[in-house]
Amino acid sequence: MTNPVVLVTTEYTDISVDCGTEYINVAIKFCPVMYTGYNESELILNNVKNNPDCRATLDTTVLPPMARFRFPINSTNACGSNFVVSNGVFSDFSNIEMVNISGTVQSKDITTGTVTYNAELKYYYSCAYPLEYLINNTRMDVSSSSIAVKDNNGSFISTLRLRLFKDINYTQPLIMPTLGIELRTNVYVQVEATNLTSQYFVLLDRCYASISTTPTTTNFFNLFVPCGSDQFTKMLVNGEMQLARFSFPAFRFTEQQNQTVSTYYLHCITRLCEISTCSTFKQCSKRKRRDVVPLTTTPSPNGVTEATTITSPAIVIRSENGTLFPLRENKMNE
């Protein structure tokens, strides 16, 4: 008697990969899996077998049915994915580094006999992300921006997000009206790390405002610097949690006093520091005023990442009589 032979060949269309901003979603057509003799529990992601968050779920609400995997893009719990930093495919034209996140989904044959008639299934996935991408969406209805950060070894570890709020409880996003907000309106700023391990806190080293959409070394107004801040800036949380918060009253730049609206941006120089290091790094007795320069800060000690600058969406102030702040050139606020 001859056993029937079933040939199953996986194709590129059998798998789809969604490279999201926080999660990677892998979907595999289930029919070829079933015809080969496996079920969804026998599809193993990167040989991770004991983590329920890394197991496939069967989705029968779609045709054809799909076996789905969903896992975050941070390296601490990405279900065994490989993280490789490179210069990217456009390295001849760009200095932007890329991080490639890749892995495999492989079938697990539970046959206990000497031989098996089940074919091995193996699926590969790969996603590429800018290592330090800056999302600057300056639409008037946007109240946040994001940037990716890496540790001192060059490994992607987190995404920083800067958001603007209009209340001290940080529950109401500040949606910028087309004509801008009024002078002295309290602006609440939050810089938060996502997909971050519990060993790190967020530390703001310096935040300043400028009319430039990119960090600048010339015209700026310091909201705060290490061991000092503008008299109107209120630091609420810094180096104590996986987010940092401060507030300031809205102002206008004198350079834009004859314009209908004053538009400027916040630039926050941010670090991720290990919990045991944050408090020491913040001590003013260990940091001198000359350590602070326009675009860089003190060298990073062990346990503190290199500084990363994240920029806010546009802050628009309507034309009214009120406080005008002059631009400062290469010096700190007194």
Structure tokens given for 303: 């346990």
Is residue 273 a part of any domain in this protein?
yes
Q: Determine the longest span between alpha carbons in the chain, in angstroms.
A: 96
Residue recorded with tokens 């009253």:
249
**Residues 162 and 267 reside in one and the same domain:** yes
For 81, the domain range is 12-130
**Residues 45 and 89 reside in one and the same domain:** yes
Q: Which among 33, 99, 32, 101 has a CA at the least distance from the CA of 71?
A: 101
**Residues 119 and 141 reside in one and the same domain:** no
**Residues 248 and 115 reside in one and the same domain:** no
**Residues 199 and 99 reside in one and the same domain:** no
What does the pLDDT read at residue 320? 63
* pLDDT per residue as tens, the chain (334 positions): 444 444 444 556 789 998 887 789 999 999 989 988 899 999 999 999 889 999 999 999 999 999 999 998 775 568 988 877 665 554 444 445 567 788 999 998 877 766 677 788 989 998 887 654 322 222 223 355 555 555 555 554 567 889 999 999 999 999 888 888 999 999 999 998 877 777 788 889 889 999 988 876 678 899 988 776 778 899 999 989 889 999 999 998 888 877 888 899 999 988 888 887 787 776 665 444 334 434 444 445 556 777 788 889 899 998 765 444 554 433 344 3
What does the pLDDT read at residue 12? 61
Is residue 83 a part of any domain in this protein?
yes
**Residues 107 and 155 reside in one and the same domain:** no
b/e burial code for range 76-85 (CB count within 10 A of at least 16 → b): eebbebebee
Q: How far apart are CA 288 and CA 268, in angstroms?
A: 20
Q: What is the CATH number of the domain that holds 172?
A: 2.60.40.4100
Is residue 166 a part of any domain in this protein?
yes
Distances (CA, A) of 223 to 2, 4, 249, 268, 279: 81, 75, 10, 10, 21
Is residue 3 a part of any domain in this protein?
no
Which residues have a Cβ under 8 Å from the Cβ of 146 and sit 6 or more positions away?
21, 133, 135, 159, 160, 161, 162, 310
**Residues 39 and 106 reside in one and the same domain:** yes
Q: How far apart are CA 230 and CA 225, in angstroms?
A: 9
Final residue of a structural domain among 130, 146, 166: 130
b/e burial code for range 189-200 (CB count within 10 A of at least 16 → b): bbbbbbbbeeeb
Q: How far apart are CA 286 and CA 261, in angstroms?
A: 41
User: What three-state secondary structure class fits 278?
Assistant: helix
Is residue 33 a part of any domain in this protein?
yes
**Residues 182 and 241 reside in one and the same domain:** yes
Structure tokens given for 208: 């300043």
What does the pLDDT read at residue 295? 41
Q: How many domains does the chain have?
A: 2
**Residues 86 and 178 reside in one and the same domain:** no
Is residue 286 a part of any domain in this protein?
yes
**Residues 291 and 155 reside in one and the same domain:** yes
Final residue of a structural domain among 130, 159, 178: 130
Final residue of a structural domain among 66, 95, 130: 130
b/e burial code for range 224-260 (CB count within 10 A of at least 16 → b): bbbeebbeebbbeebbbebbbbbbbebbbbeebeeee
The secondary structure of the chain in percent helix, strand, coil, rounded to multiples of 5, reads 10, 40, 50
**Residues 88 and 219 reside in one and the same domain:** no
CA 9, chain centre distance (Å): 38
**Residues 100 and 158 reside in one and the same domain:** no
User: What three-state secondary structure class fits 97?
Assistant: coil
In contact, 118 and 36? CB cutoff 8 Å = yes
Is residue 240 a part of any domain in this protein?
yes
